[in-house]
DNA sequence: CTGAAAGCGCTTACAG
DNA sequence: CTGAAAGCGCTTACAG
């Protein structure tokens, strides 16, 4: 391996000092006259100089590194991460990565196994900022608060702008749009399939939107049951059971996540029923799988990739001295596909 | 913010030198006697000392960072990455991340936009090793070869062990198992739906396995068409068209990727046909979506998460001085679900 | 067993 | 406009 070429080598070749090379290469003002600049640039190119960022980081205290933290979850037998089976996260990361890269930052992604881990990583790598995806315990947020670097959350309602920046969507409105559409299609007894509200306030706001549509249309809340379940495929299957056997009056359902809707569809198919004939259904997120299934899932679309891009934007602004946190809410829209049917009057 | 606490602070508090602190904290042999060790550890804990890895990296030339590189792909309107819509990649990354973390490494993931980018990132961050996912142009491999750090590829057949380590699966055997199963179920005219062989040698080996089963069973290769298409959902839809209109003799198909199979199912459903009634179908990969669809997709399972874990294992071994590259092949298995039907004799 | 000192490759006041 | 020098926080021969 060729010897590593350092600033000193470039300096020697250009006949200037290392300090000057540093100035020129970092474009610090018009500190060097044009001739000097040219000499330095020429020497650097000839030697194929690559700046060692580690050294720079040590002297500046910056790392140009953004941390992305995910919860670690356990599956039977093996450790896992939400990254593994939730396409939502990959897509956010993809957005963050893109904007970060375009701005000269790199990203390190890590699952969090125990408290203290974030703090450790932040100080170990002197991360410039962090993005936190997913749900964590209160204890974790306490720990996070103590870190004095820019941080942005996603879909969090727990904190005000004083404490954290956040990128979310209009959950209430999304749920409202979905429910309203079902009502427009003549459904009057609609189930809400959701995760526990304590687990994520997102659920609470979606519940609110659901309720608003029902009340606005003078439908009976009693006839519109809320079915609580785990927000994953199995949870959807369980919810379908519950709808079929405990809430058989219902003709339509709004599930707060596409993955839940997929579970519902699966069970209906398995027992010889069909969506939308036996149940009109709307999901939430518009994961790419929604287009792959048959029938295609009608859903509320959010731009997940954009969400990630906004996260990186905010982070970078804050890293560069913008002192205010900010709280962005991205829009949502109804995407019509084939899981909602006009209900015939009886 | 509290002043940063450094080794010097710990040394002062413990009444020893910074060198000793370093030795104790890094467990370099039994260099310090027990009393000293205790003093140092105590001081470190009291001050809540966190070692600054940047400084350490600068002096050791190691970074404890592993780079994961993905191809950047372009979609209409916006830049994207394979990470975004291919669950396969998230799962591999999840595996790498886990093993890396357990061994004290962090991972930085980056899409590659232009040549030179990898090299730049490697030298910028002094990465200890890299994993390369996805397909790249020859030019890229040339560039990579010049980097003198451990690197491992995934599912690559292009290089021998002299050059790269690789973690793959037994593609030939997987395809063989799939095809054999279809034959066992009495199908005699079977289509292979695949991406171009030039695009990935994986396709070539799967073709070989397909062929082996056909020949072994004395079926006619003429009656078993190979349908080339893009390996994505749309490609699957297109392939279904091709099967229906150009190869209507076929009663079964083996698709080299689950995502292709999903496209095929979708089209069949859309035109009022059904899988497996009108076509028996087997996929490859066993993505989690396979369980979500109805009917559940019969497929060849590979343990993607494990693949990622092996990648990290090899990388770490090589980083720690293991000089030999290695080439691992993970097993595959047939997963029976509902998309293959016994063909009735006519 | 322990410490003084040099070194890793940059940056940044400061002096000229 | 340019350079000498100190500093970032570690590690590592080496001497004792």
Question: Measured CA to C1', what is the nucleotide nearest B4?
Answer: D9
Question: What is the tens place of the pLDDT at every residue in A249-287?
Answer: 999 999 999 999 999 999 999 999 999 999 999 999 998
Residue with tokens 């929604």: A290
Please name the residue ranges forming H helices in A217-324. Answer: 233-246, 258-270, 289-292, 304-319
Determine the pLDDT at residue B324.
80
In the CATH scheme, what architecture does the domain B171-303 have?
Answer: 3-Layer(aba) Sandwich (3.40)
pLDDT at A311: 96
Q: Grade residue A225 by pLDDT with cuts at 50, 70 and 90.
A: very high
Q: Outline which parts of chain B fall under CATH 3.40.50.2300.
A: 65-168+304-329, 171-303
Residue of chain A nearest B294, judged by CA positions: A266
Confidence (pLDDT) at B25: 86
Tokens at A111, concatenated: 């699952």
Å from the B19 CA to the D11 C1': 8
DSSP B195-255: --TTT-HHHHHHHHHHHHHHHHTT--GGGS-EEE--SSHHHHHHHHHHHHHH-TT--EEEE
Dihedral of the CA atoms B331, B337, B338, B343 (nearest 10)? 50
Nucleotides of D under 7 A from a protein CB: 1-5, 7-13
Assign A304 to helix, strand or coil: helix
Chain A interface, best mutation among B6, B60, B94, by max A CB count within 10 A: B94
pLDDT > 90 fraction of chain A, expressed in percent and rounded: 55
**Residues paired with B154 in a beta bridge:** B167
What is the radius of gyration, based on Cα positions, of chain B?
Answer: 26
Nearest residue: Cα versus C1' of D11: B59
pLDDT of res. B306? 93
The CATH 1.10.260.40 domain(s) of chain B lie at 7-60
Average pLDDT, chain B: 89
Query: DSSP per residue over A157-180, as a string?
Result: -SS-TTT-EEEEE-HHHHHHHHHH
Distance in angstroms (rounded) separating the CA atoms of residues A4 and A25: 18
User: Regarding the domain with residue range A7-60, which homologous superfamily does it belong to in the CATH classification?
Assistant: lambda repressor-like DNA-binding domains (1.10.260.40)
Q: Is the pLDDT of residue B58 over 60?
A: yes
- Write out the CATH class of domain A65-168+304-329: alpha beta
Residues 42-81 of B with CB under 7 A from strand D: 49, 51-52, 55-56, 58-60
The answer to whether residue A80 scores a pLDDT higher than 80 is no
Residue A195, by phi and psi: left (phi above 0), alpha (psi -120 to 50) or beta? beta
- What one-character DSSP code corresponds to residue B222? G
Among partner residues A53, A123, A292, which is closest to B124 by beta-carbon distance?
A53
- Considering the entire predicted model, what is its pTM? 0.89
Q: Name which of A97, A162, A157 is nearest A131 in CA terms.
A: A97
Query: Which residue carries 């090379």 as its tokens?
Result: A21
Confidence of residue B322 (pLDDT cuts 50, 70, 90): confident
Across all strands, nucleotide nearest B59 (CA–C1')? C8
């Amino acid at each position: 391996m060729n010897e590593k070429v350092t600033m000193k080598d470039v300096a020697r070749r250009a006949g200037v000092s290392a300090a000057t090379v540093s100035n020129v290469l970092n474009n610090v003002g018009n500190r060097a006259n044009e001739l000097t600049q040219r000499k330095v640039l020429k020497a650097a190119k000839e030697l194929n100089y690559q700046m060692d960022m580690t050294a720079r980081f040590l002297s500046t205290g910056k790392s140009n590194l953004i941390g992305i933290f995910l919860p670690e979850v356990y599956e039977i037998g093996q450790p896992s991460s939400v990254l593994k089976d939730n396409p939502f996260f990959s897509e956010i990361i993809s957005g963050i990565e893109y904007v970060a890269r375009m701005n000269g930052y790199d990203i390190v992604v890590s699952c969090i196994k125990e408290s203290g881990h974030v703090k450790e990583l932040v100080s170990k790598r002197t991360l410039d900022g962090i993005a936190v995806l997913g749900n964590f315990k209160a204890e974790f947020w306490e720990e996070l608060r103590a870190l004095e670097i820019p941080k942005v959350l996603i879909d969090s309602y727990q904190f005000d702008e004083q404490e954290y920046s956040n990128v979310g969507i209009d959950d209430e409105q999304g749920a409202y749009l979905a429910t309203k559409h079902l009502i427009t299609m003549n459904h009057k007894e609609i189930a809400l399939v959701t995760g526990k509200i304590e687990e994520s306030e997102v659920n609470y706001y979606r519940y609110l939107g659901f309720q608003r549509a029902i009340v606005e249309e003078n439908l009976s809340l009693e006839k519109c049951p809320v079915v609580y379940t785990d927000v994953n495929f199995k949870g959807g299957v369980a919810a379908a059971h519950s709808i079929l056997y405990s809430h058989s009056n219902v003709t339509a359902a709004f599930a707060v996540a596409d993955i839940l809707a997929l579970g519902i569809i699966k069970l209906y198919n398995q027992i010889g029923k069909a969506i939308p004939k036996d149940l009109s259904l709307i999901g939430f997120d518009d994961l790419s799988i929604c287009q792959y299934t048959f029938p295609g899932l009608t859903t509320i679309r959010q731009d997940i990739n954009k969400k990630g891009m906004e996260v990186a934007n905010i982070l970078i602004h804050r890293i560069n001295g913008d002192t205010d946190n900010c709280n962005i809410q991205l829009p949502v829209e109804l995407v019509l596909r084939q899981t909602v049917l006009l209900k015939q009057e009886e």
